[in-house]
Amino acid sequence: MSPSDLPDESQAPLLAGNQEHDGVGATEREYGTATASAPPSTLEQGTFARNLGTIEAFGIIISIVIGSGVFTSPGAIDTNVPSPGVSLLIWLIGGVLAWTGASTLAELGTAIPGEGGIQPYLQYIFGNVFGFLAAWTWIVAVMPATLAILSIVFIETIYTAAGITDQAATLGHKILSVFVIFAITIANSLSTKASTRLNNFFVVTKFVGILVVAIAGLAVVILHLADPERKVGGPDWFNKPWFKYRNSANSDGSETDWSRLSHWEILGHLSAALYAALWAYSGWDKAIYISAELSNPVRQLPLAISTAIPTIILSFLAANAAYYVLLPWSVVATTDSVAVTSITRLLGSTFGSLTAGLICLVIAGSLLGNSFVASRMTVAAGNKKWLPDVFTVIGRVGTRSSIPDETASAAGDDNDDEASELPKPDASDAPINALLLSAVLSSLYILFGDFRSLLTFNGLGEYTFFFLTVVGVIVLRIREPGLRRPYKPHVAVPAVFAVVSGFVVVRGAAFAPVQAGVLVAVWGLGLLFYLARRWWF
């Protein structure tokens, strides 16, 4: 097969739809030569109707970002900070970082046409290899690690409700987590409509979960103020200073004596804590996906980001302050299901079980949505010839050659019975092969990893490319000052994100060399795969 026989995949965005006949040539569209002069109506055409306003955009961002992280990350943060006050600062910094990142991507989302998150931006700014590696990293590392984390926490939540907190590393726990992955895969394999309807049910549980924790913490504060002698909640929040160094408990039973650590070691711990916070805020980059459905994206997208993310920050701060009110401080770091532990200690095992069920619904919703997105990214990469064609097959397991040919089935009466026994290719519209790939990769991460190491691995993978994308914004401002930018935040916004995220990536890699080494291996394998595919075709 010669290169001329293949569709031109060198510059098309990863998740882009049909872009022909829109008045702008492919080369001009991707390299920006027509961008500055083309009218906005030409560049802003999309698949979706523009029928959303600021309020709808606000709600969508809230529903994407608020997930299981606020119920599961506090332990991973607390074990890596010297005091509860610093823990709350980490949550604040993570939120501000998400805010600056979302604002920066809003600039790219209104300036460069194309779908697929950061992939088309990196491809536009730095070239095809960077675009491919972004897609490869999300498909092979980031999304499977995300699903693995969520599945581990799902099972850990159930264990914690039953009073068992030391089984996360056991084979039985891991096998149950793998079972959850495949159960979600089956649910997503039914049909797209079934997946989206089920996901709508899970959205409400996110708000209810945070509200339950915040009200419980507020109730303890009120009860203590009314009767200081009454023992309810944790005793440390009113007996100890919130910003004074204390020995941090680790999940393995050891303690970290912060007075004995160097500044460099403390920074390493803080970067690990920030990764856990960024996991809780993950999804802020998805804000750019709704720009195609806004009636006035130039005004509404920045406004929605600037109201939704501060609301999320305040919600997360309230929930985490409540944890330190509800629990002894030495307990927070020892569990990956801090919300269940808090309610169980306060109201008993029955309410703890109800809370566990609520949080399991939140996690199941996140699993369903992330599995859904991961499979679509895989299909899109297959359509670009970046992955084998088998991952573009819809509605069945197997290759395209195994799908019955319509002409063959109508060739003669002798073949009618045989053709009728074959499964119909349109029985489902779900990308089952892509879903299975994601499930298998996620299972490997579950079997060979653990919750906290996967958090760091996930953060390294995501923020390496977020860093490159935001640096690309600055590069693009210098290289193409005439590029039409309907929304353009002050240069300090991308600069702050670039500096902080760059430091987090570098220090995080030094602090977690195993995870960094695995990620580098993933990139190396991806480059070999990319070159092999190009050579083959």
137: nearest Cα among 347, 346, 369, 378: 378
3-state secondary structure 224-292: HHHCCCCCCCCCHHHHCCCCCCCCEECCCCCEECHHHCCHHHHHHHHHHHHHHHHHHCCCHHHHHHHHH
67: nearest Cα among 373, 302, 326, 294: 373
Output DSSP code: residue 51. Answer: -
Query: What residues have CB less than 8 Å from 105, skipping those under 6 apart?
Result: 118, 121, 285, 287, 288, 469
Report how far apart, in Å, the C-alpha atoms of 203 and of each of 193, 316, 470, 520 are.
16, 17, 30, 35
Output DSSP code: residue 3. Answer: G
Do 258 and 245 form a contact (C-beta atoms < 8 A)? Answer: yes
314: nearest Cα among 68, 54, 70: 70
Beta partners for residue 377, in sequence order: none
Provide the terminal-to-terminal Cα distance of the chain, rounded to the nearest Å: 6
Sign of CA pseudo-dihedral 65, 67, 70, 74: negative
Q: Residues 169-221: pLDDT tens digits? A: 788 888 999 999 999 888 877 765 655 566 556 667 777 888 888 999 999 99
In the numeric block, which tokens belong to residue 441? Answer: 């990769």
Do 324 and 332 form a contact (C-beta atoms < 8 A)? Answer: yes
154: nearest Cα among 202, 188, 193, 191: 202
Helix (H, G, I), strand (E, B) or coil at 493: helix
Helix (H, G, I), strand (E, B) or coil at 52: strand
153: nearest Cα among 67, 62, 255: 67
499: nearest Cα among 537, 470, 462: 470
199: nearest Cα among 337, 380, 41, 373: 373
Output DSSP code: residue 415. Answer: G
The number of residues in the chain equals 537
Q: What are the domain boundaries of the chain?
A: 46-399+416-536
Helix (H, G, I), strand (E, B) or coil at 383: helix
Q: Please return the burial class of 42, using the count of CB atoms within 10 Å of its CB with bins 0-12, 13-18 and 19+.
A: middle
Rounded distance, CA 27 to CA 274, Å?
Answer: 40
Q: Please return the burial class of 174, using the count of CB atoms within 10 Å of its CB with bins 0-12, 13-18 and 19+.
A: buried
Residues of the chain with pLDDT under 70: 1-52, 56, 59-60, 63-64, 113-117, 165-168, 191-203, 251-252, 286-294, 336, 398, 400-429
How many CB atoms sit inside 10 A of residue 404's CB? 16
Rounded distance, CA 172 to CA 196, Å?
Answer: 31
Helix (H) or strand (E) holding 337: none
Query: What residues have CB less than 8 Å from 471, skipping those under 6 apart?
Result: 494, 498, 502
- The amino acid at 411: A
Give the predicted TM-score (pTM) of the model.
0.71
Do 344 and 335 form a contact (C-beta atoms < 8 A)? Answer: no
Contacts 24+ apart (CB under 8 A), 397-405: 397/432, 397/433, 397/436, 398/433
Q: Residues 62-114: pLDDT tens digits? A: 766 777 788 878 888 998 999 999 999 999 999 998 888 888 888 887 787 65
CATH number 1.20.1740.10 is the correct assignment for the domain at 46-399+416-536: yes
Beta partners for residue 255, in sequence order: 249
pLDDT of residue 157: 79
DSSP string, 123-160: HHHH-HHHHHHHHHHIIIIIHHHHHHHHHHHHHHHHHH
